[in-house]
């Protein structure tokens, strides 16, 4: 693994295969055996990659690239708890968060013990809130929980609580959950305005408990409690802290029994599985949370044991490398046909782009091949009525992951009709994007629809579709805690495998450092301090203009 990716034989072979004409998907999809050959399943998820621009020869070289990149060896090192985060000198063990009950775990037993102890504490707090036993400063039960956190302390719980709305309703939770991540006054104000201070609890989530935006919001939240008559001694009744550094939370007045802990071997973007997941446990209950962990664990075991050619994370990773490095698609659209997964693309966006948006190999040399794609997306059916125009007829290469569900037991009378509409839409877009409709076929279709030859001629190019846009179809058996856990773990491991191929570090994030530093330089200037002469002209001018107009 000391070689660069472009020095591996499979890389050169793939370059040659990518440079040669690959048959159009319209042709590839005439092969009736293709779908069965290009479908794999695990943990309640089916991956159909038959709409990728991949021939058997390409597939063979992609698997060879995985072998030559020692993806399996790097995976095993991660699963053992080796200190694979070299640039920060840490192990990476989020898999332990969902495998703590495993007798044959490859990581140290002390890790599992810590995890189980904190999980137990978290479930006690969740049950207490769910049962209405946690009370505010006027003695009444807490009804609203506001999570203050940002990035990894926000995106996961926010996404999962919405995704699992059906489970939350079934589990009988009466507590309403809210999330505020931005330090913008409007964000906090709009959230708090309809809430009753005496019945509101704040979860303050920060890995280091030094995240400025979160601490500012936490300070304003406490002021809001006090301004509503909460006595100083009662403020802690309205607070829970979640952090890897409990001593910092306690120094700020958070109660030890209300402080949940996780550890520096859990990356922020992998922390949903830790105490950071408390809002999810409040929403769906401890049993539901355990189902989510079990789903992720099932995917972990699949990743650990399945042959590469049927290994879902490895397949997703290889397909992504093919599209990014050899077909030149700089971005990856993630589009869900289950509306409750509306935040899922944002979650994957952080996980993927923060992990693989890198320009340095493990050995410190600059990367010269393309690394992680831009991840963007949202709900598919919204997209169809908006930006899909560009996918069909723009001048871009985009790779698409479609997420669908097979079953939906929403208690709406015509639920089946709704489900079919979603499924048909997904399949239609996957077909239209892959097969397209050439200019000649469009011309013929326009004539057949009754247009004159002149009109058909004039509009044929306008109304034609090049097709050949590659896509994966990911079907969940149903959207529940188990399948959500499996889906998230699938993308986590995909991201890991790609870093293993590119030879980059998936677990650091030095790229966020400079902005934080400059923020601290700029903050006092906005309050009137004098700028250092080294500050650039644009920043100086902006600050002067903001001060002048304030």
Q: Which residues are catalytic?
A: 354, 385, 516
Closest by Cα among 441, 407, 411 to 423 = 407
Q: Closest separation between CB of residue 222 and a copy of itself, Å?
A: 11
- The C-alpha atoms of residue 422 and residue 417 are separated, in whole angstroms, by 9
**Binding to a copy of itself by residue 424, rule CB under 8 A?**
yes
Helix, strand, coil percent values for the chain (each to nearest 5) = 55, 15, 30
- The C-alpha atoms of residue 303 and residue 212 are separated, in whole angstroms, by 37
Q: Closest separation between CB of residue 86 and a copy of itself, Å?
A: 9
**Binding to a copy of itself by residue 359, rule CB under 8 A?**
yes
Binding to a copy of itself (CB under 8 A) within 24-53 occurs at 26, 29-36, 39, 46, 48, 50-51
- The C-alpha atoms of residue 262 and residue 286 are separated, in whole angstroms, by 17
Give whichever of 46 and 128 is closer to a copy of itself, judged by the CB atom: 46
- The C-alpha atoms of residue 44 and residue 423 are separated, in whole angstroms, by 17
Closest by Cα among 363, 311, 362, 343 to 479 = 343
The SS3 assignment for 101 reads: coil
Give whichever of 51 and 130 is closer to a copy of itself, judged by the CB atom: 51
- Per CB under 8 A, the segment of 116-124, 132-140, 429-437, 485-493 that binds a copy of itself is 429-437
Q: Closest separation between CB of residue 433 and a copy of itself, Å?
A: 8
Binding mask 194-233 for a copy of itself (x = CB under 8 A): -----------------xxx--x--xx--x---x------
**For residue 95, what are the CA distances in angstroms to 75, 105, 158?**
11, 10, 21
Binding to a copy of itself (CB under 8 A) within 97-136 occurs at none
**CB-based burial label for 247 (10 Å; 0-12, 13-18, 19+):** exposed
Q: Closest separation between CB of residue 177 and a copy of itself, Å?
A: 13
- Per CB under 8 A, the segment of 8-16, 133-141, 374-382, 490-498 that binds a copy of itself is 374-382
Closest by Cα among 225, 270, 215 to 78 = 270
- The C-alpha atoms of residue 281 and residue 36 are separated, in whole angstroms, by 38
* Out of 76, 184, 247, 257, the residue judged to bind a copy of itself by CB under 8 A: 184
**Number of residues near a copy of itself (by CB under 8 A):** 161
**Binding to a copy of itself by residue 264, rule CB under 8 A?**
no
**Binding to a copy of itself by residue 457, rule CB under 8 A?**
yes
Give whichever of 169 and 251 is closer to a copy of itself, judged by the CB atom: 169
Give whichever of 9 and 330 is closer to a copy of itself, judged by the CB atom: 330
Give whichever of 351 and 500 is closer to a copy of itself, judged by the CB atom: 351
Which strand ranges, in their side-by-side order, compose the sheet holding 239-243? Answer: 176-180, 144-148, 200-205, 239-243, 259-261
Q: Closest separation between CB of residue 493 and a copy of itself, Å?
A: 19
CB 346 within 8 A of CB 166: no
- The C-alpha atoms of residue 329 and residue 322 are separated, in whole angstroms, by 9
**CB-based burial label for 538 (10 Å; 0-12, 13-18, 19+):** exposed
* Out of 260, 291, 422, 490, the residue judged to bind a copy of itself by CB under 8 A: 422
Binding mask 269-308 for a copy of itself (x = CB under 8 A): x---------------------------------------
* Out of 339, 444, 447, 531, the residue judged to bind a copy of itself by CB under 8 A: 339
Q: Closest separation between CB of residue 438 and a copy of itself, Å?
A: 11
Binding to a copy of itself (CB under 8 A) within 65-104 occurs at 87
CB 399 within 8 A of CB 335: no
**Binding to a copy of itself by residue 186, rule CB under 8 A?**
yes
Please state whether beta strands 45-48 and 39-42 pair in parallel, antiparallel, or not at all (unpaired): antiparallel
* Out of 150, 160, 235, 312, the residue judged to bind a copy of itself by CB under 8 A: 150
- Per CB under 8 A, the segment of 71-79, 163-171, 197-205, 294-302 that binds a copy of itself is 163-171
Q: Closest separation between CB of residue 311 and a copy of itself, Å?
A: 20
- The C-alpha atoms of residue 189 and residue 144 are separated, in whole angstroms, by 15
**Binding to a copy of itself by residue 491, rule CB under 8 A?**
no
Could you tell me the two tokens for 104? 């044959």
Q: Closest separation between CB of residue 85 and a copy of itself, Å?
A: 12
φ and ψ of 128, to 5 deg: -60, -45
φ and ψ of 203, to 5 deg: -100, 120
Q: Closest separation between CB of residue 329 and a copy of itself, Å?
A: 10
- Say how many C-beta atoms besides its own lie within 10 A of residue 473's C-beta: 21
- Per CB under 8 A, the segment of 126-134, 299-307, 483-491, 502-510 that binds a copy of itself is 502-510
Binding to a copy of itself (CB under 8 A) within 378-417 occurs at 378-379, 381-382, 384-396, 398, 406-408, 410-415, 417
- The C-alpha atoms of residue 173 and residue 10 are separated, in whole angstroms, by 53
Q: Which residues contact 381 (CB under 8 A, 6 or more apart)?
A: 337, 422, 425
């Amino acid at each position: 693994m000391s070689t660069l990716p472009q020095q591996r034989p499979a890389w050169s072979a793939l370059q040659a295969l990518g440079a040669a004409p690959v048959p159009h998907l319209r042709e590839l999809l005439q092969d009736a055996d293709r779908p069965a050959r290009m479908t794999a399943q695990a943990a309640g998820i089916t991956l159909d990659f038959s709409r990728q621009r991949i021939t058997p020869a390409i597939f063979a070289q992609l698997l060879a690239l995985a072998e030559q990149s020692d993806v399996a060896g790097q995976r095993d090192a991660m699963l053992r708890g080796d200190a694979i985060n070299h640039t920060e000198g840490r192990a990476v063990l989020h898999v332990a968060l969902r495998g703590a009950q495993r007798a044959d775990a490859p990581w140290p037993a002390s890790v599992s013990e810590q995890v189980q102890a904190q999980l137990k504490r978290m479930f006690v707090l969740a049950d207490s809130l769910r049962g209405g036993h946690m009370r505010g400063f006027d003695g009444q039960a807490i009804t609203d929980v506001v999570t203050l956190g940002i990035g990894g302390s926000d995106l996961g719980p926010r996404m999962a609580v919405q995704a699992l709305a059906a489970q939350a309703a079934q589990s009988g939770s009466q507590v309403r959950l809210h999330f505020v991540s931005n330090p913008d006054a409007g964000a906090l104000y709009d959230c708090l305005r309809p809430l009753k201070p005496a019945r509101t609890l704040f979860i303050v989530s920060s890995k280091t408990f030094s995240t400025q935006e979160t601490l500012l919001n936490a300070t304003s939240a406490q002021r809001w409690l006090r301004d509503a008559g909460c006595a100083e001694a009662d403020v802690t009744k309205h607070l829970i802290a979640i952090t890897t550094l409990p001593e910092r939370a306690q120094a700020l007045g958070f109660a030890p029994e209300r402080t949940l802990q996780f550890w520096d071997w859990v990356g922020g973007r992998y922390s949903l599985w830790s105490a950071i997941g408390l809002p999810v446990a409040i929403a769906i209950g401890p049993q539901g949370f355990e189902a989510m962990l079990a789903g992720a664990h099932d995917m972990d075991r699949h990743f650990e044991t399945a042959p590469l050619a049927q290994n879902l994370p490895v397949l997703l990773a290889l397909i992504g490398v093919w599209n990014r490095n050899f077909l030149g698609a700089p971005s990856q659209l993630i589009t869900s046909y289950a509306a409750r997964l509306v935040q899922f693309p944002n979650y994957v966006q952080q996980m993927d782009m923060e992990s693989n948006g890198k320009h340095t190999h493990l050995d410190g040399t600059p990367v010269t091949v393309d690394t992680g794609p831009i991840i963007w997306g949202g709900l598919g059916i919204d997209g169809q009525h908006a930006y899909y125009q560009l996918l069909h007829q723009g001048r871009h290469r985009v790779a698409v992951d479609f997420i669908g569900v097979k079953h939906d037991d929403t208690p709406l009378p015509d639920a089946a009709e709704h489900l079919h509409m979603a499924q048909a839409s997904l399949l239609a877009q996957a077909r239209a994007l892959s097969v397209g409709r050439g200019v000649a076929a469009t011309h013929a279709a326009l004539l057949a629809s009754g247009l004159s030859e002149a009109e058909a001629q004039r509009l044929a190019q306008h109304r034609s579709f090049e097709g050949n846009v590659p896509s994966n179809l990911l079907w969940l058996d149903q959207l529940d805690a188990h399948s959500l856990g499996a889906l998230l773990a699938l993308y986590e491991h995909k991201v890991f495998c790609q870093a293993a191929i590119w030879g980059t570090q998936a677990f650091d994030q030095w790229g966020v450092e400079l902005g934080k530093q400059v923020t601290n330089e700029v903050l006092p200037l906005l309050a009137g301090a004098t700028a250092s002469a080294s500050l650039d002209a644009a920043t100086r001018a902006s600050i002067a203009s903001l001060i002048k107009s304030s």
